[in-house]
Structure 1
Amino acid sequence: MIKLTVLYGHPVDPAAFEAYYSSTHMPLVATIKGIVKAETTKFFPNPDGSNANYYRLAELYFNSPEELQKAMGSPEGTATSADLANFATGGVTVLVGAVDL
């Protein structure tokens, strides 16, 4: 299993981020064929009250590196990746790795 992880930095306007993320970006993600499982996380502040290192996390799972490449290279995957510029004002970090089972 291969996992694509997207770490979102803290946005300039969290309310605008959340509205766009749920109403526009996640529906785009749902159009990508080949995703086996998708999970998202919104982080809490650290125990001392400071911001977590990241605002949000998205994890997309694929059966193989080839399936990931096919999915993310598709028109739907390309559109979803391009959409990040429309709302991710805190920047994004993207990681890909093999899941240890």
Structure 2
Amino acid sequence: IDCATADPDGHERALVIGGGIANFTDVAATFNGIIRALKEKESKLKAARMRIYVRRGGPNYQRGLAKMRTLGDEIGIPIEVYGPEATMTGICKQAIECITAAA
């Protein structure tokens, strides 16, 4: 996160948090660490005008994605959340379009 938020330049940035569809990993549990890190870096994320895209599937993914949606509301950072129905390539395309449209 420190590298992604270094030297804010006024342009929007995108952070993609994603992975495959887990077989055994509790997605909600693994998101707890990510949520903690995003809360710790809230001011840097805002200064960098970061937009976050999350995509994950697997055990408890609905609960994990709900936690990420709630986090976006709590810290005031746009977080778009997707389950396994969305493709990583599609989400990356959205992130790129967001950055280029804002440039």
Aligning the two structures, in what range does the TM-score lie when normalised by the shorter sequence? 0.3 to 0.5
Determine which structure has the larger helix proportion and give its number.
2
TM-score, length of structure 1 as denominator length:
0.38
Higher relative contact order (CA 8 A, sep 6+): 1
